[in-house]
């Protein structure tokens, strides 16, 4: 998927890591438009019609179209040139599948991250308390997710805990990959965006990832609509590097980020 996966899974064996690696490889092989042999590249070239594609691809397409409807078009799996691009949901679906593999292995403590977006299970064990049992809740603390400052990627805007109800986090922005999200206001342009970075914390990774992209694309109107429809926390960085945060982020964000009213 052109990015890095980081897995922290206490108690996992080699077989589980190999299973998760296959999950990521299968998603890349099926959905990558950078691979000429992928199923979605065949669709883009007109060699395969969507109705005859594999069940996983059609399921991902259905997911993406559902989100397009829910976000009033701010999230759209079609590029302005008409090419179907499911990358807006595929990474999250791969992370979700990896999470399912961890749960299926009987483990309930993990942090799974791909390209900076991730989901947590359980709570991480403090190194100082590594000899204590899970019953000793004081030995455990929530997994924490750092949010990179788009102005200086060596710094963090802050960090937030990942816990039940807020176990997933995703960031969409221009700092790492440049302008790659087509703006709802002007689909022919990649400039003059209201936000340069949007971070969403949610119960599941698909919701977090899709809405981060949608808000980056749709701007303040989509931000307001998303917060009214979904139980999420949002942190935005605007074009002038000003920060805004919803109440959930304000309560739990650490490292002293500058938050405007």
pLDDT in tens, the chain (261 residues): 778 899 999 999 999 999 999 999 999 999 999 999 999 999 999 999 999 999 999 999 999 999 999 999 999 999 999 999 999 999 999 999 999 999 999 999 999 999 889 999 998 765 545 555 555 555 578 999 999 999 888 889 999 999 989 999 999 997 555 544 555 545 454 445 789 999 999 999 999 999 999 999 999 999 999 999 999 999 999 988 899 999 999 999 986 545 544
What is the spatial distance between Cα 208 and Cα 230, in angstroms, rounded to a whole number? 10
Domain boundaries, the chain: 5-252
Question: What pLDDT score was predicted for residue 165?
Answer: 92
What is the spatial distance between Cα 234 and Cα 238, in angstroms, rounded to a whole number? 13
Question: What pLDDT score was predicted for residue 191?
Answer: 44
Is the four-CA dihedral 112, 179, 88, 1 of positive or negative sign? negative
Q: In CATH, which superfamily holds the domain spanning 5-252?
A: ApbE-like domains (3.10.520.10)
Question: What pLDDT score was predicted for residue 182?
Answer: 54
What is the spatial distance between Cα 221 and Cα 36, in angstroms, rounded to a whole number? 37
H, E, C per residue of the chain = CCCCEEEECCCCCHHHHHHHHHHHHHHHHHHCCCCCCCHHHHHHCCCCCHHHCCHHHHHHHHHHHHHHHHCCCCCCCECCCCCECCHHHHHHHHHHHHHHHHHHCCCCCEEEEECCEEEEECCEECHHHCCCCCCCHHHEECEEEEEEECCEEEEEEEEEEEECCECEEEEEECCCCCCCCCCCCCCCCCCCCCEEEEEEEECCHHHHHHHHHHHHHHCHHHHHHHHHHCCCEEEEEECCCCEEECHHHHHHCECCCCCCC
């Amino acid at each position: 998927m052109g990015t890095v996966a980081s897995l922290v899974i206490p108690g996992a064996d080699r077989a589980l890591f190999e299973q998760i690696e296959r999950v990521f490889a299968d998603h890349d092989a099926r959905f990558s438009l950078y691979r000429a042999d992928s199923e979605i590249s065949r669709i883009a070239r007109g060699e395969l019609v969507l109705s005859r594609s594999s069940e996983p691809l059609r399921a991902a397409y259905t997911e993406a179209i559902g989100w397009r409807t829910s976000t009033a078009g701010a999230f759209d799996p079609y590029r302005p040139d008409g090419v179907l691009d499911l990358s807006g949901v595929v990474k999250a679906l791969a992370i979700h599948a990896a999470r399912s593999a961890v749960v299926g292995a009987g483990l309930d403590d993990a942090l799974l991250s791909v390209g900076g977006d991730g989901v947590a299970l359980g709570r991480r064990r403090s190194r100082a308390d590594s000899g204590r049992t899970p019953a000793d809740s004081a030995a455990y603390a929530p997994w924490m997710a750092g949010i990179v400052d788009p102005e200086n990627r060596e710094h963090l805007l802050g960090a937030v805990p990942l816990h039940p109800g807020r176990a997933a986090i995703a960031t969409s922005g221009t700092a790492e990959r440049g302008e790659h999200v087509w703006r709802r206001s002007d689909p022919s342009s990649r400039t003059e965006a209201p936000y340069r970075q949007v971070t969403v914390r949610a119960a599941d990774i698909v919701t977090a990832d899709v809405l981060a992209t949608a808000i980056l694309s749709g701007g303040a109107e989509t931000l307001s609509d998303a917060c009214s429809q979904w139980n999420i926390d949002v942190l935005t960085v605007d074009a002038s590097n000003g920060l805004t945060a919803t109440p959930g982020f304000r309560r739990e964000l650490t490292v002293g980020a500058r938050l405007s009213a």
